[in-house]
Structure 1
Amino acid sequence: MQLTLSKLFQHSYILRQYAYVPSYKPPDEKDYMCLLEFLQKHTRVLVLTGAGISTESGIPDYRSKEVGLYARTNHKPIQYQEFVKYSNVRQRYWARNFVGWPRFSSIQPNATHFAIRDLEKVGKISSVVTQNVDRLHHKAGSVNVIELHGTGYIVKCLHCSYEIDRFKLQVELLRKNPEMESSFSMIRPDGDVELSKEQVDKFRAPICPDCNGPLKPDIVFFGDNVPKERVERVRHEVSKSDAIFVLGSSLTVYSSYRIILQAKDEGKKIAVLNIGPTRADNIVDLKISTKCGDILRDVCRNL
């Protein structure tokens, strides 16, 4: 029986992984050769990654046709001003995040994350700038990672300098909310899930132990700005690089698109590997529309 349950779990995990990958055309020989040539030509590549590389690990993105979060539900991402202003919004957010955290934090890197790590190890990649808050690049072993939109693994107070590791906060939340059910259907890109109003209303949201201020994950919510020092660090890394390689991002958000604009202004070559169109398709040097994991691993073996 235990073997059967194990197989069922593995089967469920595989189905969940690929349920969030949109339809795509498998890479052909031309795609492979073009990407290989691009990576062979450049020695200091800045890699920019988006939610499209984490779909293969079982985390849905927001915008993919038919399988993205916007296509599946009427859910809209948390807005920064609403989170700051309304205690009931924070309560709803933290209740969902609390239930979703065990699964979100247990998700593992996929072939794309490991391929990026391998390219960094051999000196091909100068830095990784990721829009994702899932820390999968860190789990894969990448070193020079800039989390453009922050991370869900750190929580900070909005009123003072207090911060806490998300795993430690989970212990505190469990102590304050022992009755919360840990069942849910679909995780979201920022790690929360859908709950009933009754479940949310009963939840005791976290507050700062130092000043009683509201706690917020160290994530750049919609409507908020990327910290200036992080923007400057990214600008510096772009200037140091000799090419930009975008993986799994539609570049819809300006904080990522401006990286492309800077690279164009500085005369750098840009390649994009993404299922579906991106905001920069008309200005990049190479665009390949296929699943990252289907091509990048093979390209890495031949570099």
Structure 2
Amino acid sequence: MRLSVPNIPPAVLAASLARPPTLTPRAEAVDRVARFVAPGNVAVLTGAGVSVDSGVKAYRGKDGRYMNPDYKPIFYQQLIEDSPRGHAFRQRYWLRAYIGYAPVNKTEPNPTHYALAALQHAGVVPQLITQNVDGLHHKAIRRVWDPERMAAGMLELHGSIFKVHCKHGHEYGRDVFQEWLSEANPRWRAYLEDMDRQGIQPKTNPDGDVVLENVSYDDYVVPNCPGCLNEGRINNVIKPDFVFFGESISQAVKERSYKTVEDTDRLFVLGTTLATYSAFRLLKHAVDLKKPVLLLNVGPTRADGMPGVEKVEIPTSEILRDVVGAVVGSRARYDPILRDMLLSGVIRPPSYDSPDTEAPVDARSPVPPTTAG
């Protein structure tokens, strides 16, 4: 079976490249989005674009094309294969993920995350669905929502980077597993610490995977699952608790995402090309139910030209705070939580071409743990 990374249909991309996007004027964009969300009971669907200002790279650029066509992700069936070949895939994946986890774990919400959190706190957005696994929506609202409330009002469509589980269902926190990887691979722990001292940022994908050069994975140790060892079996088939390329979302998540669209009055989609079908079908479901749909994204998306879908093209960070102000009115001044949210957020967009601050991890640099043979 041939597996490939989801992408925008070629016809849509071709049409977009023939006609470069014209950004919606700022004042018009604020007005259109504010009028759309003001009635309330809005479901929100977000993608990688909302996390870019936090320093998390998106998979696709503003022209809709895959930004790293040479990147070869590990697919689900490769990672879970219980064979020497599968073990080799897990060595490759977990070494790269070990290096890439720290930068993703340290990211902070940007103004878009906080603006959406403000709309949630204000009761305008009862349900938020995100394709992102970075947990930034949760970080933005955790000062006012406890974990139970977050679980009820937020759905991670593709899972989370902060948990792992083995093929027999034993689950662990990602920080715990990171420490196991460090203990099992002391040379790579030292290498990671050296990178941190030098301020080197690896080229990291949204799922925490990094670019590695001149590296052999042969001696990287993937720990066995302690839960399985306690049950008398050896098993190192462990994966992050998010959906890999080639893997389907669970039936429970699919049903809940559909119910979210059904229980709300309108769908606000932002920061996504909708290349993955698990997200695109939610927009289609809303259109089929004759619910208003607004798409806020710069560049082409899979839904371009669809009847029933209104589109605004402008970066979310340029308008969303003002949208919240227009929707909640004076509450933005007298509600201390709203006021604080609208003043919060980092703006640290990733550099796509700065070799001095961000580079592939090269095992030939200062403390080489291993080198290719």
- Higher RCO by CA contacts (8 Å cutoff, separation 6 or greater): 2
Q: Which of 149, 166, 170 lines up with 1:162 in the alignment?
A: 170
Q: Does 1:255 align with 2:278?
A: yes
Q: Does 1:148 align with 2:157?
A: yes
Aligned residue type for 1:177? N
Q: Which of 75, 79, 84 lines up with 1:83 in the alignment?
A: 79
Q: Is the 8 A contact 1:26 1:294 kept in 2?
A: no
User: What does residue range 1-303 of structure 1 map to in structure 2 within 5 Å?
Assistant: 25=23, 27-40=25-38, 42-65=39-62, 70-72=66-68, 74-85=70-81, 86-141=86-141, 143=150, 144-158=153-167, 160-180=168-188, 181-182=191-192, 183=195, 185-196=202-213, 198-211=215-228, 212-213=234-235, 214-283=237-306, 284-303=308-327
* RMSD of equivalent CA atoms: 1.9
SS at 1:198's partner residue? coil
Q: 2:92, 2:109 → 1: CA distance?
A: 28
Aligned length: 278
Q: Which stretch has the larger CA shift, 269-278 or 140-149?
A: 140-149
Q: Which stretch has the larger CA shift, 72-81 or 110-119?
A: 72-81
Question: What are the ranges of 5 or more consecutive residues in structure 2 without an aligned counterpart?
Answer: 1-20, 143-149, 196-200, 229-233, 328-373
TM-score by length of 2: 0.71
Question: What are the ranges of 5 or more consecutive residues in structure 1 without an aligned counterpart?
Answer: 1-22
Q: 2:292, 2:64 → 1: CA distance?
A: 31
Q: 1:218, 1:206 → 2: CA distance?
A: 17
TM-score by length of 1: 0.87
CA shift, 1:163, in A, is 0.7
Q: Is the 8 A contact 2:49 2:271 kept in 1?
A: yes
- C-alpha offsets along residues 165-207 of structure 1, whole Å, 9 cap, x if unaligned? 0011111111111101224531111012122353522311132
SS at 1:272's partner residue? strand
- C-alpha offsets along residues 108-162 of structure 1, whole Å, 9 cap, x if unaligned? 010010001000011100211000000001111163110000111000001x121
SS at 1:34's partner residue? helix
Larger Rg: 2
Aligned residue type for 2:247? D
Q: 2:25, 2:216 → 1: CA distance?
A: 45
SS at 2:268's partner residue? strand
Distance 1:202 1:27, change over 3 A: farther
Aligned-residue sequence identity (percent) comes to 37
